[in-house]
Chain A
Amino acid sequence: MSIIRPYGDTTGDGMVQLSFTLPVPHDKRAEGAAVQLANKMGMDPALLVHAKQMGDGFTFFVVYGKVNHLVDTDQVQVVERDFPLLSATEVNAAIKRRLRRRLNVVGACIGTDAHTVGIDAILNLKGIAGEKGLEYYSELSVTNMGAQVSVPELVETARERKADAVLVSQVVTQRDAHLQNTRAMSAAFREALPVGKRPLLIVGGPRFDELMADDLGVDRIFTRGTTPREVASYLVHALAAGSPTK
């Protein structure tokens, strides 16, 4: 089935829910304004189920309603996982077999971002969601630089450790800091190292769009819900698949 619409309690009913705040006190006119907004967003009929004033000049609304839009799942563009998901044993075996040395990974949160939760979840032995982090993989040599690492520091460390892959985590998105930082990072690597010597550049964070890899100048973007095993599998796919030398 490629054409679908939202499901409330009956196939094809098109029901959705929405909540938002308008900067007006709560009265009849405010409720009308909320319905008008819902209508303009394509909800028709729009059923205002909850309205509550907050402070002096704001009202919070919850609206349920029917949308007439159709969605064509064939038209959806996503990055599907294009590599096999391997177990830790398989990852280690593949690296041993193909690289014949440990694969070097350098990770950091760059810029002013101090949120190491993402990079730590992927790199720390502890891992996340019951999966051990990359430090657990015997054939991966992991350097976790932590938070607030400058781009030159990262490039220098990557060079020093002969990094095969650089993992950068970005959580803070205020003023698109995550995009700016990532572009600055990929540009610095392009400038510092020739093609072939450059490590694989991977960024991760909850607010990235996976389709933006080319735009940001990186090899791969991982978004929310990524586990260490997926990253390890990707590293093998990108660096230790095919010919025995890098």
Chain B
Amino acid sequence: MAGKLDLDPRTVRTARRLAARAGQPVVDLARSHTTVSVERAVLRLAGVHGADQDGIPWVNRLVDAVRADVGLGHGVAVPVFHAMRSTGVDDITVLAQKAAAGAVRFDLPSTRAESTAARRAARSQAGAGLKVVDRRRRERDRLIKRFGDPRQRPWIYLIVATGDIYEDIPQAQAAARAGADVIAVIRSTGQSLLDYVPEGATREGFAGTYATQENFRLMRAALDETSKELGRYVRLTNYASGLCMPEIAALAGMERLDMMLNDSMYGILFRDINPIRTFVDQRFSRQVHARAGIIINTGEDNYLTTADAVEAAHTVTVSQLLNEFFAHEAGLEDWQLGLGHAFEINPDLPESFRLELAHALLARELFPDAPLKWMPPTKHMTGDVFRGNLLDGFFNLVGALTGQGILLVGMMTEAVVTPWLSDRDVALQNVRYVLNGAGSLHEDFVPAPGGFIQSRAHHVLSEAIELLEKIVDDSLLDAIADGTFGIMKRPADRGKGLDGVAKHDEDYYNPVTEALEQ
């Protein structure tokens, strides 16, 4: 595919170098801070599970107790495992329960020997959690080998969202039988702002189903059955976003989810989560995804739903470059980068389809080894389902012509209802017709040298470089505060979840980060 836009490799290198310079201060910030959710993720990997009568997970109760006694800056691992030794409790969940009842007092080890012993115990327990993640990854590799990957690219990605996991399961299985390669279970509206992960199988959600460990397990098991039946490994997707993204990443790793929505800035811009909280949680969750062999999906499509898709096209490129930098820094490989973009140009605009092709091809050529995630029109879906179906067809055609990796199936009833069974069927028919009819048309699709598509792509890339230069000068946090992405202004000292952030003390210890950075 490479070389259709005649991009200057030096320009591309400049763009990447600028993204690295813009991103580095944020990485430094993430390396020197922790959050309640990072610490809870560590304890989840170390084996804390379950919740109290009010549904508050023990892991929250334990982190709160440690924090009240010694603060968060040392990391919770050492105080927790020191307490296990000094109290003689050998089950970490029991310790959490006792701590919640006020029966344990946490402090820091007073001798070097005690400290070393606590670290050793923490390393070993958290390591057991990571071993589960590793085992799950090998299991996935084995199942893909046995059942096979989808026969075509792009993979067909479909959403289910009933609110009830037991309704989601048959819908997901039906969608897979109808041709979906990837099933995403949309989360309940509002989960991103919960500072805990709900427990157990859930049957009540709003416009989606809660992400819980048990729901993950149930859906994965059901799709394993369907994969076997279809002779094709059906992937499962959820959301490592919001205030609990590190914990959800850990749960996804332990329950063999295959893809996770995991954008570096989405929570800041669209959920008003504090920027520092987000960047710290982001880095940890990406490290976990890297280890778990999970493909991340980034959320650039969202910028275009609030900003103008032509004027703001370069902000997508900038965000993709930043997401790539943050991902590589956290250990993710190119095949794990489902960088996002979307078909959101106003269809009434002359040459809108040509512009879409230029933008999609630019992403393809900038990130030749990433499985790009191509998102369908939403902003200009009006309720005219006939026109919507046509737009979705053109969206699918861009996907086929520009070699997108993952295609989220557009619904003609976008903005009308949550998709009906028949909407999904019509949508899949649309995808199949276009992919089948277009076949390998991408081989013949070579934009004219110096023509509209090439010039537009060059223009967007140069705008992206200009913006990156500005971000490098002002700092990324200031750019976010000024509303550079998606028009939302998000200052670093505001937003939800800031009180859950702590700067590392000198003796900060996190056995999971240690293992993931080895």
Instruction: List residues of chain A with CB under 8 Å of any chain B CB.
Output: 19-21, 52, 54-55, 58, 60, 112-114, 116-117, 120, 124-126, 146-148, 172, 174-175, 177, 206, 224
Cross-chain contact B174 with A114 (CB below 8 angstroms): no
Query: Once bound together, how far apart are the Cα atoms of A146 and B207, in whole Å?
Result: 19
Closest to B415 in A: A206
Q: Which residues of A contact B271 (CB under 8 A)?
A: 114, 147-148
CA distance A113 to B190 in the complex (A): 7
In the complex, the chain A residue whose C-beta lies closest to that of B312 is A126
User: Would you give 17 A-B contacts (Cβ < 8 Å), ordered by A?
Assistant: A21-B421, A54-B425, A58-B421, A112-B189, A113-B189, A114-B190, A120-B487, A126-B306, A126-B307, A146-B272, A147-B271, A148-B193, A148-B271, A174-B418, A175-B206, A206-B383, A224-B383
A224–B488 Cα gap in the complex (Å)? 23
Q: Does any Cβ of A come within 8 Å of B178's Cβ?
A: yes
Would you call A148 and B422 a contact (CB within 8 A)? Answer: no
4 additional contacts (CB under 8 A) given A55-B177, A60-B422, A126-B307 = A54-B421, A116-B306, A172-B207, A177-B206
- Whether the Cβ atoms of B174 and A55 lie closer than 8 Å is yes
Question: Would you give the 0/1 interface string for B410-427, flagging 1 where the beta carbon is closer than 8 Å to chain A?
Answer: 000001001011100110
Complex-state Cα separation, A50 to B425, whole angstroms: 14
| Residue of B178, B272, B422, B488 touching A21 (CB-CB under 8 A) | B422
For the complex, what is the distance from the CA of A146 to the CA of B488, rounded to whole Å?
A: 9
B462 within 8 A of A: no
Give complex CA distance A60, B421 in Å: 9
Q: What's the Cα separation between A74 and B62 when bound, in Å?
A: 67
Which residues of B are found within 8 Å of A116, using beta-carbon distances? 270, 306
Taking CB atoms, residues of chain B closer than 8 Å to A224 are 383
Q: Is the CB of A112 within 8 A of B272?
A: no
B206 touches A21 (CB 8 A): no
B115 at the interface (CB under 8 A from A): no
Asked whether, in the complex, the Cβ of A124 is within 8 Å of the Cβ of B306, the reply is yes
Q: How far is the CB of A37 from chain B (nearest CB, A)?
A: 14
Check if A114 sits within 8 Å of B305, measured CB to CB. Answer: no
Question: Chain B contacts of A55 at CB under 8 A?
Answer: 174, 177-178, 421
Most buried by A among B207, B420, B488: B207
Q: Is B376 an interface residue (CB 8 A)?
A: no
Interface bits B242-280 vs A (CB < 8 Å: 1, else 0): 000000000000000000000000000011100000000
Hey, what's the 0/1 contact readout for B293-333 against A, CB within 8 Å counting as 1?
00000000000011110000000000000000000000000
Residue of A nearest to B428 (CB): A54
Q: Verify if B97 is at the interface (C-beta below 8 Å from A).
A: no
CA distance A117 to B488 in the complex (A): 12
Q: Are A174 and B163 in contact (CB under 8 A)?
A: yes
Q: How large is the interface on B (under 10, 10 to 19, 20 to 34, 35 or more residues)?
A: 20 to 34
Write out the residue numbers on chain B whose beta carbons fall within 8 Å of the beta carbon of A174.
163, 206-207, 418
Please determine whether B420 and A148 come into contact, CB atoms closer than 8 angstroms. Answer: no
**A19 & B422 in contact (Cβ 8 Å cutoff):** yes
Query: How far does the Cβ of A134 sit from chain B's closest Cβ, in whole Å?
Result: 14
Question: Does A52 contact B207, Cβ atoms closer than 8 Å?
Answer: no
Which residues in B have their C-beta under 8 angstroms from that of A177?
206
- Distance in angstroms between the alpha carbons of A21 and B421 in the assembled complex: 8
Q: How far is the CA of A238 from the CA of B421 in the complex (A)?
A: 44
Q: With contacts A21-B421, A55-B177, A58-B421 known, is A112 near B487, CB below 8 A?
A: no
Q: Which residues of B contact A113 (CB under 8 A)?
A: 189
B192 at the interface (CB under 8 A from A): yes
In the complex formed, the residue of A with least CB distance to B496 is: A148
Interface set, chain B 341-393, CB cutoff 8 A to A: 379, 383
CA distance A33 to B411 in the complex (A): 27
* Complex partner residue of B192 from A19, A60, A114, A175, CB under 8 angstroms: A114
Interface hub of A55, A113, A175 (most chain B Cβ within 10 A): A55
CB of A155 to closest CB in B, whole Å: 19
Residues on A with beta carbons closer than 8 Å to the beta carbon of B305: 117
Are B178 and A172 touching (Cβ within 8 A)? no
Cα A129 to Cα B163 with chains together (Å) = 33
Are A124 and B487 in contact, CB atoms less than 8 angstroms apart?
yes
Q: Which residue of A lies closest to B174 (CB)?
A: A55
CA distance in complex: A192, B425 (Å): 50
Report B-chain residues with C-beta under 8 Å of the C-beta of A20.
Answer: 422
A41 to chain B, nearest CB (A): 17
| Complexed CA–CA distance, A90 and B174 (Å) | 56
CA distance A146 to B271 in the complex (A): 8
Closest residue of A by beta carbon distance from B191? A112
Contact B308 A126 (CB under 8 A): yes
CA distance A112 to B190 in the complex (A): 5
Chain B positions 188 through 213: 1 when the CB is less than 8 Å from some CB of chain A, otherwise 0: 11101100000000000011000000
A26 to B268, CA, bound (A): 49
Cα A148 to Cα B163 in complex, Å, equals 18
Chain B residues near A147 (CB-CB < 8 A): 270-272
Within 8 A of A (CB), among B401-458: 415, 418, 420-422, 425-426
How far is it, in angstroms, between the C-alpha of A112 and the C-alpha of B242 when the chains are bound?
A: 14
User: Once bound together, how far apart are the Cα atoms of A114 and B187, in whole Å?
Assistant: 12
Residues of A within 8 A of B206 (CB): 112, 172, 174-175, 177
| Chain A neighbourhood of B163, CB < 8 A | 174
Query: B198 → chain A, closest Cβ, in Å?
Result: 14
Q: Is the CB of A120 within 8 A of B189?
A: no
Residues of A within 8 A of B174 (CB): 55
Residue from A21, A120, A146 in contact with B420 in the complex, judged by beta carbons closer than 8 Å:
A21
User: In whole angstroms, what is the CA distance A126 to B207 when docked?
Assistant: 27
Residue in A closest to B208 when the chains form the complex, CB atoms = A174
User: Could you tell me the distance in whole angstroms from the C-beta of A13 to the nearest C-beta in chain B?
Assistant: 20
Q: Which residue of A lies closest to B308 (CB)?
A: A126
The reply to whether A60 and B383 contact each other, CB–CB distance below 8 Å, is no
Closest 6 CB pairs of A and B: A112-B190, A60-B422, A54-B425, A112-B189, A21-B422, A55-B174
Q: Which of B153-194 contact A (CB under 8 A)?
A: 163, 174, 177-178, 188-190, 192-193
- A60 to B190, Cβ gap below 8 A? no
- Which residues of B lie under 8 Å from residue A112 when comparing CB positions? 188-190, 206
Partner of A126, one of B188, B426, B487: B487
Residue of A nearest to B178 (CB): A55
Q: Please indicate the chain B residues that have their CB under 8 angstroms from the CB of A148 in the complex.
A: 190, 193, 271
Distance of A125 Cα from B323 Cα, bound (Å): 27
Bound-state Cα–Cα, A172 to B415, Å: 10
Partner of B425, one of A52, A126, A172, A175: A52
